[in-house]
Structure 1
Amino acid sequence: MELITEYIEGIDPSYQERMKELLTWIVQKYPNLKPEIKWNQLMFTDHGTYIIGFSVSKKHLAAAPESVTITHVESDIVKAGYDYTKEIIRIPWGARVDYSLLEKMIEFNIWDKANCTTFWRK
């Protein structure tokens, strides 16, 4: 949790509470995931393989679960009303966080990458 606290303290104070809530939820729900900071993002890994990453911008929180996962949950992203690209999902600061969508992405990646031996999918 120390790494997460350091990350939160390093972002704009107006986003800290929201990020703390989100990241605490992940740590509590998925205690086996390892938080890491790479490429200025806080990300979570499982047995050395990437599961999901988060970054902040002025207008939104970005969740990056890899493009395969975005394709897998695309209809759920649309239902949640989030803007997205091939690589990220943008959650506006004023919008609610759809935790069921995050759960679906994280669990898909844990399952789909259970035997993955590389950081990224090949």
Structure 2
Amino acid sequence: MDAFAEFLAGIKNPQHQQQTEEVLAWVAKKFPALMQEIKWKQPMFTDHGTYIIGFSVAKHHLAVAPERAAMIHFANDIIQAGYDHTKELIRMPWDRPVDYSLLERIIEFNIMDKADCETFWRK
């Protein structure tokens, strides 16, 4: 988690900082083969040089960005989980528990779907 220390230290709200740290630590523990990186001032996880998932902090939510293909694949699950979303990200409100099961399935999908991907982003 050293890769994310400076990012986490910059989160002003202690509750948001703690929840973000918990999510990032959970991803790191659940998927230890993923690389922890900061790109575009945001924490993200990559696999063999390709993007798997990224996170950003907003006033009312933790934004989870798994790329459009995963958003389409899990559209119904995201809606059933009660999360607001856009075409590119899921908004996980600070005042609700994180749906780790959904997060796990999204990350697993991206790892498998991008196993042969040779670029950072899907083409």
Q: Is the 8 A contact 2:11 2:17 kept in 1?
A: yes
Amino acid in the other structure paired with 1:121: R
Shift of residue 13, structure 1, vs aligned partner: 3.3
The Cα offsets for residues 32-62 of structure 1, whole Å up to 9 and x where unpaired, read as 1011111121110000000000000111100
For residues 42 and 105 of structure 1, the distance between their equivalents in structure 2, rounded to whole angstroms, comes to: 17
- Residue 74 (structure 1) shift: 0.8
Percent sequence identity over aligned pairs: 59
Partner residue in 1 for 2:59: 58
Q: What is the TM-score normalised by the length of structure 2?
A: 0.96
1:12-37, Cα deviation, whole Å (9 max, x unpaired): 23211101111110110000101111
Separation in 2, partners of 1:7, 1:47: 23
TM-score, normalized by length of structure 1? 0.97
Distance 2:79 2:91 in 1: 11
Runs of 4+ in 1 over 2 A off after TM superposition: none
Amino acid at match of 1:92: P
Unaligned segments of structure 1, at least 5 residues? none
Counterpart of 2:5? 5
Deviation at 1:6, TM superposition (A): 2.1
What's 2:104 paired with? 103
Unaligned runs of 5+ in 2: none
Aligned residue for 1:41?
42
